Amino acid sequence: MPRVLVIAHLFPPIGGIGVQRALKFTQYLSEYGWSPVVLTTSDFHVATMDPSLLEKVPASVPVYRTADRMARWMARISPVSAHAAKTSENFSAKPTKRSFKQRLLPMLKTLRNTLAIPDEQLLWAISAAFAARHVIRKEQIDCVFTTSGPNSAHIAGYLLKRWLGIPWVADFRDPWTDNMHFPDEGVRAVVERALERCVLKTADALITVTDSFASLFKHKHPSVPGKIHVIRNGVDPADFPIVTPDHHTSHQTLAGERPFTLLYAGILYPKRSPEIFLRALQRAIASGAIQREQIRIEFAGVFDYPAPVSNSQLLKELDLEDVVQPLGYLSHDEVAKRMLQVDGLLLIGDADERAGMYIPGKVYEYLYARKPVFALLQPGEAAKLLEQFQVGVVAPVEDEEKVFQALCVYCNEFIQNWSGGPNEQDLLIFSRQYEAQLLADVLTETLQPWLLERNRSQSAWAVQ
């Protein structure tokens, strides 16, 4: 069985939806003729640690770890809680005496953002490239697979390709310099665009997760159209526990004996803010379109990132503290179980105009949970997917009036006529197993020319 080295910074015990892609490829590639070996980080500075995911890494898969010095330094200066859920106390206007570490943090972040290009995992990527040379020899690796973010993972792949000539597949969960979080101007942007061109030109095959992303990459370099593949994110049915039917899993409307519970699963940040939804919810309750006692909203994940006004403060301002419950960060298994227990699912996309190119990874899990979805999204691929399967009501992410109207339709009409969502057969093309099979095909296709060339060289040497 050929062996592939998976270089991924996002890997257990780090949690979050971004980890699932590399983890699931690692779990299922061996079923389709490829044996994976993993190279990841040994240092962590994230708010979404999920040690339970380590249990899902197959015991047969070797996992090598190399240091991320930047993460180690940041963790010493600014420790991050795995259950980070900042409250309004974090944003108090009352002046407090700052420690030396607190005064040092802004300077360290400025230095990091200036020197660490393309991202703060650059030191890890370089270290990983050197470590990978030993792993490739020891494990008799046939192909290298790098997956981003962070984009630094592809720097490791580029170095290995230049040093060893080994077949290399680069996987992009998001665009690089067309990313909605990318700085469009300055020296940093120039350097990153040059790095991106090197990766796109040098990689033997490229993978991304949406048709829109693939179209973007095709315009980046003449070689891209012939080697770009779309392998979507997906859902693993094995992650969803079998829940005994009870009052939590039966079909529920706002007229039921208990409140209708709507769950948001995922991280929030300024560009992906719940503010418009919460203001629309407050209007619906104030107008009588929704009765306060009939609805509950749960947020599973990091509810508050530092901002001028926290989401916790907003709940207090809108008098929604008895309606909205932040659950804090939950493990992936806990979130999957909760998806099956609640009555509906809330999806909040980014406000950026380019967000329509993206399909949040959580969408596929929402589809599999088969619960009515209320979504705030820019027009684009994610909205079309929800509409294709008729699983929810979609509203413009930045239009409070239209979100208010759509929420009233969702609560008073859509869920009344909920038919149960797509059947399992329809969702097979989004299964992690199917995506792993597609990756195995790309790896095999990438390896074949290299094997042929190696065999020709060996034959020529034998003749001599």
| DSSP per-residue string spanning 131-164 | HHHHHHHHHT--EEEEEESSTHHHHHHHHHHHHH
Distances (CA, A) of 158 to 113, 146, 199: 22, 9, 6
DSSP assignments along 415-433, one per residue: GGG------GGGGGGGBHH
- Residue type at 432? R
Confidence of residue 55 (pLDDT cuts 50, 70, 90): very high
pLDDT at 199 over 60: yes
Query: How far is Cα 224 from Cα 218, in angstroms, rounded to an integer?
Result: 5
Mean confidence (pLDDT) of the chain:
87
Report, as an integer, the average pLDDT of 438-457.
86
Helices 19-28, 432-463: axis angle to 10 degrees equals 60
pLDDT at 362 over 80: yes
**Residue appearing with tokens 């400025």:** 110
Q: Convert the pLDDT of each residue in 263-275 to its tens digit.
A: 999 888 888 999 9
* Per-residue confidence (pLDDT) for residue 293, from 0 to 100: 94
Query: How far is Cα 196 from Cα 135, in angstroms, rounded to an integer?
Result: 25
* Per-residue confidence (pLDDT) for residue 349, from 0 to 100: 94
